[in-house]
Structure 1
């Protein structure tokens, strides 16, 4: 075995310049597959008060420092070091002659850094809890164009004013929010946030329900297909603009949320040709209409049959067969009343629950002392990355009890 001389680097300015990052298997495979085309980009995101995350194009990883029991030395050949100290620590056996020292110098290495920790990456859900607060007061509803113009005039003090309304742009969200590009795009779609003139504008729930009902009415009235070849986007856009004053940028994005836009223009906002088509995601549309109807029953429950009747009426005869309560899992509570045998439904959306796991479970167990396993799991899907992490949270925050009716979860005593 050869002997080496370890020599500390004399320039202390580089101290703290090295970090060791342990890669999970999926990220390692991604890096290895991208070596040839050099297309891979990583971004570390987080404000000073945040825990940092690493984002790829489609996933987010939490960065966590793990202390090592033994230090790890980062070393380089002596040729890369400008100067070395006159003394060194020989790790060879015994004391050697001048020729021995010369041989050791030939195998000398320079210690650039002594590390006592490594950075570990763990898949995590995107951290978008700030988004709701950032966009408060920027909602887009019916007549939003006129409201924006009037408010801008007011804030500008009329013509020639120096005031300017501050919006939150899509580019700001990309740079600041702890989420990958794909996860951010999915969040905007799931939360129904429009991009208008480059700014993020949440669509109000009431106006979204109105738009979907108008869209389904126009779809049927104009004899457009909702599957297969799809419906003509220009026909729907013109009808919504003429009959309801809906801006094209709004109608096209809403169609993109609830289906696939194929042909010229895609999901863009430029004028497309007649071949541009909208293939409707029927379950998604029906689900959102159902949520819009159920939203009115947050404080007062509605009998299940009565709700299903209202839901079918809202989507129309063409789509009534797709109505099913399974589409709304994680958005309602079902209960029974001593005065009637019918189940009662009330609006209870997981999107309005805390994103912190401890706070999420606290809210759930304040709402109900006991939960069936199949009832509580739909309220956890947005704070876990997979079933394994969900089971870990249940083990940490809940206690499982099994009886003849199945598995129940109660709050774990603290």
Structure 2
């Protein structure tokens, strides 16, 4: 069908107003399902996030996508039907409908699933830790003002995190949980490691003393005991339960996730000795004593993957020592991450290095690409080993 192709009378102001976004299959399907749902479009939403100086990302309810500009070899015209004010009465041929050129595009925006930028939480919440010595208020927690020495720090809220952290809602909530960040009256406070370790011990001791089934713990009974005997505010203990299991509000019961609690107990032992190496057998023995006979069988160094290094106590010795080495202390930039890893060790076994890459790769395929880019692989009777492709001076 023939048309009259005309430039818009506002083409100068329209230029640069349009962007062409290419949706990956999973987002296209999500959008299509949302638009075709009964009763009109559903609540599926996309958000563009980014502070000045940051590359923008697109977030869905549960994923984050990096936005990358890709140049086009041929320009694409953005055209629309004309509004009444944009139709010239002096059309060369009024028998053909008009199409108005609004803009010319020389690039498209490409989306690639990305790691949420949760590491900013560490900086934004620095100096805001909640510890055992907090002064209680009516809610069982002082959240009016955080103090770092003599300098007051403005409260950092969940709404602030939503605006400043490039992550989807689900990823942000998971990040707060994994980083052990309390949320009280919408104010965010990371709980101190030492205090969390004590609460874990209090919980394990209470379960044993009251003969409570860890698969069905009465929430109110545990909260009351922790508050009365150990001064742990209910608002804190309920969130700690949520971090290490599932809380049923309807039934008022907590189902403890054994591996998560045992892992945190072991991590506490490592952190307490982070400036020195621990004898492997002594660590395991201390760890089992801490969690008690009931959960001792769940103790395994595999639970602490990404938080320790293990090495012979001496050259050619079968005796091993364990030292705290956390993934959270490593840079988030892949090149810097590998540089730090190879400065720590010149040679890594595949199974040893993989846990320290889990937070910078979306999936195993992307992780393997990073290993190919930054490391050299060699195989011997012991398995696959990686060494650096670049030389770093210690």
Same fold (TM over 0.5): yes
Q: Which residue does the alignment assign to 2:48? A: 44
Q: Which residue does the alignment assign to 2:186? A: 198
Q: Which residue does the alignment assign to 1:269? A: none
| Alignment RMSD | 2.4
1:363 aligns with 2:344: no
Give the alignment partner of residue 163 of structure 2, picking from 175, 184, 187. Answer: 175
Preserved CA contact (<8 Å) 2:147 2:153 = no
- Output the TM-score relative to the length of structure 2: 0.91
Q: Which residue does the alignment assign to 2:133? A: 143
3-state DSSP of counterpart to 1:34: helix
Please state how far the C-alpha of 1:80 moved relative to its aligned partner: 6.0
Which deviates more, 370-379 or 163-172? 163-172
Q: Which residue does the alignment assign to 2:7? A: 8
Give the alignment partner of residue 208 of structure 1, picking from 196, 201, 204. Answer: 196
Q: Structure 1's 290 and 63: CA in aligned 2 closer, same or farther, altered over 3 A?
A: same
Q: Which residue does the alignment assign to 1:124? A: 114
Post-superposition CA distance 1:135-160 (Å, at most 9, x none): 111101102125986995999x9xxx
- Alpha-carbon distance in structure 2 between the residues aligned to 1:52 and 1:175: 12
Q: Structure 1's 191 and 302: CA in aligned 2 closer, same or farther, altered over 3 A?
A: same
Give the alignment partner of residue 316 of structure 1, picking from 292, 296, 304. Answer: 292
Please state how far the C-alpha of 1:219 moved relative to its aligned partner: 1.3
Please state how far the C-alpha of 1:297 moved relative to its aligned partner: 3.0
Q: Structure 1's 84 and 336: CA in aligned 2 closer, same or farther, altered over 3 A?
A: farther
3-state DSSP of counterpart to 1:123: strand
Q: Structure 1's 152 and 383: CA in aligned 2 closer, same or farther, altered over 3 A?
A: closer
1:348 aligns with 2:308: no
Q: Structure 1's 282 and 154: CA in aligned 2 closer, same or farther, altered over 3 A?
A: closer
3-state DSSP of counterpart to 1:145: coil
Post-superposition CA distance 1:99-157 (Å, at most 9, x none): xx537x514321111000011110001112221111111101102125986995999x9
Give the alignment partner of residue 240 of structure 1, picking from 226, 248, 260. Answer: 226
- Output the TM-score relative to the length of structure 1: 0.87
Q: Structure 2 matches for 1:82-161, cutoff 5 A?
A: 82-84=86-88, 102=93, 106-145=96-135
Q: Structure 1's 33 and 362: CA in aligned 2 closer, same or farther, altered over 3 A?
A: same
Post-superposition CA distance 1:361-393 (Å, at most 9, x none): 111000001111111111111111111110111
Post-superposition CA distance 1:319-349 (Å, at most 9, x none): 1111011111111101013364211111111
Q: Which residue does the alignment assign to 2:176? A: 188
Q: Which residue does the alignment assign to 2:77? A: 73
Q: Structure 1's 107 and 380: CA in aligned 2 closer, same or farther, altered over 3 A?
A: same
1:409 aligns with 2:380: no
- Alpha-carbon distance in structure 1 between the residues aligned to 2:42 and 2:322: 53
Kindly name which structure, 1 or 2, has the bigger radius of gyration based on alpha carbons.
Answer: 1
In the alignment of these two chains, the number of paired residues is 381
Preserved CA contact (<8 Å) 1:22 1:121 = yes
Preserved CA contact (<8 Å) 2:146 2:154 = no
Which deviates more, 37-46 or 110-119? 37-46
Preserved CA contact (<8 Å) 2:47 2:59 = yes
Preserved CA contact (<8 Å) 2:128 2:147 = no
3-state DSSP of counterpart to 2:175: helix
Q: Which residue does the alignment assign to 1:27? A: 27
- Alpha-carbon distance in structure 2 between the residues aligned to 1:138 and 1:395: 39
